Structure 1
């Protein structure tokens, strides 16, 4: 598992001070986060198999921890739009008939996401929220894993994929100047397709249930 750890010194500013005004229409909130990404990655369907996958073949993508940022705009007092920015990197390994096989190496993913959120809670207090919206996962510079290369694969490609995200979280005020501690969880639903090539010939095509959990914690600053 590849992990990039992100220092959140702002979380050390610690004791909540009551009296922070709730976010209002037109406010902008910037969030600095440490994010744990836990994808599934199992095979949902085999579309093409010219290599003869062993019976019981399955796959799993590894987890990662990365820094992310989020920008939130309040279109009304309790309603906001939020987008996130970050890059997460994953390998895909075999399970079952291909247990331990390295299939995909260093797949960098940009999870472009826009959610519409509704905020609950009393003014000046803790603000839980729920949200939902579309996501578009962009895959960058992925390569065949070591086992796939040994079997003759020369190139591997994951297709960019449109999906959907559900979201829930909580903002806890720290002072009366717009600083808060924030906790957020998203569940994505998407089905990317993976392709392996030997020279110019496509030899394997599989559809995957990626469906990652994305859990974040950090500091929020309102402007």
Structure 2
């Protein structure tokens, strides 16, 4: 997570430095902006409750979710010279779930994949330079799939793990730096509200574990405006 934060801050600092030195044509109403680059999902997870036959074994246990980086892309449309709508997409993210604390401390639970399409309404600031910051807010829908139980969990009797899909709020802060000829570079950070329930099944029953993943999402990209 620290590496993602420093990378994003570095990109924004470079854009700010160049933005002070030059100007470029701003995006305006009717423009489309497409961006593509690298997106990192860094979970800020919290385990809220356990209900089911494994309740005793999982008492005091937190579900840990690791980070992953994939190809990310956004498509935005300028409704006015200042307001835009944007859709975030990416190739599927893969995360390892592990257990911290409790009777199963240190056990790997499962590998899961997810897609987090996010629709945001943005406001783009007019700085009078090539440096164009923006803020956004919207909704995220996270689709979980391909849950694969780890060998550690299988040894403990777990036969299946399934995560519920999630709908939550999203917030965003980003910056475009206009390179000219409609090309730009972009740095972006988001906070996504992703609350899910993991159903952990054994041969004799199942246990529901409520997990708030709530990740920070960092993107560095190249874009084109048309």
CA distance in 2, matches of 1:137, 1:48: 25
Q: For structure 2, list consecutive stretches of 5 or more residues without a partner in the other structure.
A: 1-10
- Equivalent in 40, 45, 48 of residue 44 of structure 1: 48
1:129 — aligned with what? 134
Q: 5+ residue gaps in structure 1?
A: 1-10
Paired residues of 1:51 and 1:203 also in contact (CA < 8 A): no
Is residue 2:213 matched to residue 1:189?
no
Distance 2:207 2:158 in 1: 10
Moved more, 143-152 or 185-194: 143-152
Q: TM-score, normalised by structure 2?
A: 0.85
1:143 and 2:153 matched: no
| Equivalent pair of 2:130/2:179 in contact (CA under 8 Å) | no
Matched, 1:109 2:114: yes
What's the offset of the Cα at 1:122?
2.7
Distance 2:79 2:171 in 1: 19
Supply the distance in 2 between the matched residues of 1:128 and 1:137 (Cα, whole angstroms): 26
* Superposition deviation, residue 54 in structure 1: 4.7
Q: Which residue of structure 1 lines up, in the alignment, with residue 26 of structure 2?
A: 22
Whether the 8 Å CA contact 2:200–2:209 is kept in 1: the answer is no
Q: CA deviation at 1:48?
A: 2.3
Question: If the length of structure 1 is used for normalisation, what is the TM-score?
Answer: 0.87
Give the Cα separation in 2 of the matches to 1:174 and 1:90: 35
Q: Which shows bigger deviation, 44-53 or 123-132?
A: 44-53
Cα separation, 2, equivalents of 1:48 and 1:26: 53
> Which structure is higher in helix share?
2
Of 10, 34, 39, which aligns to 1:35? 39
Displacement of 1:148 after TM fit? 1.5
Report how many residues are paired. Answer: 208
Aligned mates of 1:202, 1:120 — CA distance in 2: 54
Distance 1:24 1:173 in 2: 13
* Residue in 2 that maps onto 1:213: 216
Kindly report the root-mean-square deviation, in angstroms, between the aligned alpha carbons of the 2 structures. Answer: 2.0
Whole-angstrom CA distance in 1 between matches of 2:88 and 2:117: 7
Equivalent residue, structure 2, for 1:90 = 95
